[in-house]
Structure 1
Amino acid sequence: MNLCTSRALGLALGSAADRLLGDPARFHPVAGFGRVAGALEQRAWAPTRPRGAAYTLVLVGGTTGLGLLADRASRTHPLARTAVTALATWAVLGGTSLDREGRAVAALLEADRLPEARQRLTHLVGRDTRTLTAGEVARAVVESVAENTSDAVVAPLVLGAVAGVPGLVGYRAANTLDAMVGHRSERYAAFGWASARLDDVLNLPGSRLTALLAAGLGPDPRGALRAWRRDAAGHPSPNAGPVEASFAGALGLRLGGTNTYGTRVEHRPEMGDGRSPTAYDVTPALALARRIDLAAAALAAAYALARSWRRARPGAEPRADPGAGTLVP
């Protein structure tokens, strides 16, 4: 079993662990990274882009470096490489947690427990939820499911397939920093710029693959592609736009509208031609997200296996493995 085969098996096992077990209940490495990042921010913050870029470089670069060390340490032991990749994949994926939170909000809405649904929604979104109507809560859940299917599942799997453990953990570090300091506010407008832009770049392939899978696996492929082509550019995020538009078109919904973030109000263009979401539209959105999760895991593992088979062909030239920093025959 060569390194790419180990990577494929590790990605598949890690994806299965996330689906079956969800996030680790204690000592979650992403939570630990967040605590380190928060402590460093208190010392490093300044209202300048260079200071924020240095902060991002130290944290994302350091995390990626640790992933590279783990890859190198296991490069001569395929079973160890499989285990390390599986653990990293399990740690960085968040599909099951997203599913649980979405179902919890939907259940509260269906039981007419709107105040509790608003509070539970804060686990999924950064917008102000205190005055949202039931329909607005449902819209927020569907939008979050769409965006986080890309951010928390598909994008890390893409980078894991290409670059192994360094790609997995480096992506999750960048995405976590974007959530912490990359949003638009007076404090983070300059300091969080580098984190936000790095996350945008790393999410580009994953978001497009997510939008394609939403179109291919949803009930209305033509509607998904039409909404993506027509409406995605109006979204303020270059990556959330294609994903949310494709989900809207695939599910026959209309997403977008006014969102409040503290003192900042965003008026987002509508995406899709359907009706406004209700509590009963969350379940189909989550079902579509689960299908996308499974397809993305299969594609990531297949890509890694294809690289393995290509390198195993007689006469194939050895190539550098970006995840291991060494030549793989």
Structure 2
Amino acid sequence: MGFAGAMAMAMMVDALLGWPNGLFARVGHPVTWLGRLINILDISLNRTIDPSGVRRIAGAAVATFVIGVSAGIGWAIQLALVFDWSRVVFLGILAWPLVALRSLYDHVAAVAHTLQYGDIAAARSAVAQIVGRDPAALDEAGIARAAIESLAENASDAIVAPVFWGALFGLPGIVGYKAINTLDSMIGHRTMRHEDFGWAAARIDDLANFIPARLTGLLFVLLAARPSNSLSCMARDANRHRSINAGWPEAAMAGALGARLSGPRVYHGSIADESWLNEGARDPLAADIRQGLMLYVRAMVLLAGALAILAFA
């Protein structure tokens, strides 16, 4: 179970260091490297003049290529490492940039800090860094709701899922997953440009996140102050979410905090009429973001501890 130990190390390094700004300025980040490749392929192969079927095939080919190349590079690097405990250390360091544990905490905490002191304008600016909805339309409850939803969903997408696949397959697992997730975030949208071209990327992302999303929800349930409330909300409302995966950690978080999440929101001037999670509960406030962050930290500590135990078992 050396892969599990490497993922635990990656989590610990990221919790301590994050991804330093100086390092980002010099070399960027693996996700930005993937983003550049995907953007080039999108511009080159996603032609609006092509029929729908051709664009789906082109998008599937792009997704397969990006995931295959990414996982292949990870496999080649992993194969070159000597099989002993030093391999765990090296794999952990190499996996570190692909675990956004510290970054997620810092971005959500920035929203909580500004909202707590009543600076709505600054809070809107901070939450705009992590969600796609129109910040100008958000009041205090809307800002808190957006931050908590982002925290819950990205706990799965940015930490639990990459660590899950990394624990199973090592470096090719975590690198391959980040390729899948980046593809989905860039071309997996239901827009005129990407409805067909990004279809395969979105479906692959749904599949890759199926288990991690439910695992994240379970972690929140186990460590909630009111586990029964969290569990009942997750079981009742998870499938009401537009996403087959995001509803699980979000509903578990809603039940744990005793607040309602999701619901109608504004994207690019249009209202998206989403279902409520934990409907009938109160609206969240700045203090609930702090409570959500505390639950997130406990869940990540439990996950890292479980990985460490697996490594030493």
Normalising by structure 2, report the TM-score. Answer: 0.91
Distance 1:216 1:41 in 2: 41
Match of 1:251 among 257, 260, 268: 257
Q: Which runs of 5+ in 1 are unaligned?
A: 307-329
Distance 1:63 1:264 in 2: 36
152-161 or 39-48, which deviates more: 39-48
2:183 aligned residue: 177
Match of 1:17 among 4, 10, 13: 13
Note if contact 1:53-1:194 (Cα within 8 Å) is conserved in structure 2: yes
The percent of aligned pairs where both chains have the same amino acid is 38
Equivalent position amino acid for 1:118 in 2:
R
Q: How does 1:79-90 map to 2 (within 5 A)?
A: 79-90=85-96
| Residue 93 (1) aligns with residue 99 (2) | yes
2:300 aligned residue: 293
Normalising by structure 1, report the TM-score. Answer: 0.87
1:66 aligned residue: 73
Q: CA deviation at 1:81?
A: 2.1
Match of 2:122 among 99, 116, 119: 116
Distance 2:308 2:157 in 1: 18
1:269 aligned residue: 275
Distance 1:163 1:263 in 2: 43
| Residue 207 (1) aligns with residue 208 (2) | no
| Residue 187 (1) aligns with residue 183 (2) | no
Note if contact 1:24-1:91 (Cα within 8 Å) is conserved in structure 2: no
SS of residue paired to 2:281: coil
2:52 aligned residue: none
293-302 or 219-228, which deviates more: 293-302
Q: 1:24 to 1:169 in 2, by over 3 A?
A: farther
1:100-133 per-residue CA deviation (whole Å, 9 max, x = no partner) reads 0111111111222212211221211112212211
SS of residue paired to 1:23: coil
2:30 aligned residue: 29
SS of residue paired to 1:260: strand
Distance 2:311 2:212 in 1: 16
Q: 1:85 to 1:119 in 2, by over 3 A?
A: same
Equivalent position amino acid for 2:221 in 1:
A
Total equivalences in the alignment: 301
Distance 1:32 1:298 in 2: 31
Q: CA deviation at 1:171?
A: 0.5
Note if contact 1:106-1:138 (Cα within 8 Å) is conserved in structure 2: yes
Equivalent position amino acid for 2:37 in 1:
V
SS of residue paired to 1:265: strand
Q: How does 1:122-201 map to 2 (within 5 A)?
A: 122-201=128-207
Distance 1:274 1:90 in 2: 38
2:223 aligned residue: 217
Note if contact 2:100-2:158 (Cα within 8 Å) is conserved in structure 1: yes
Note if contact 2:5-2:310 (Cα within 8 Å) is conserved in structure 1: no
Q: CA deviation at 1:298?
A: 2.3
Q: 1:52 to 1:109 in 2, by over 3 A?
A: same
11-20 or 106-115, which deviates more: 106-115
1:256-290 per-residue CA deviation (whole Å, 9 max, x = no partner) reads 21122225532111112531101111001011111
218-227 or 140-149, which deviates more: 218-227
Equivalent position amino acid for 2:63 in 1:
T
Q: CA deviation at 1:227?
A: 0.8
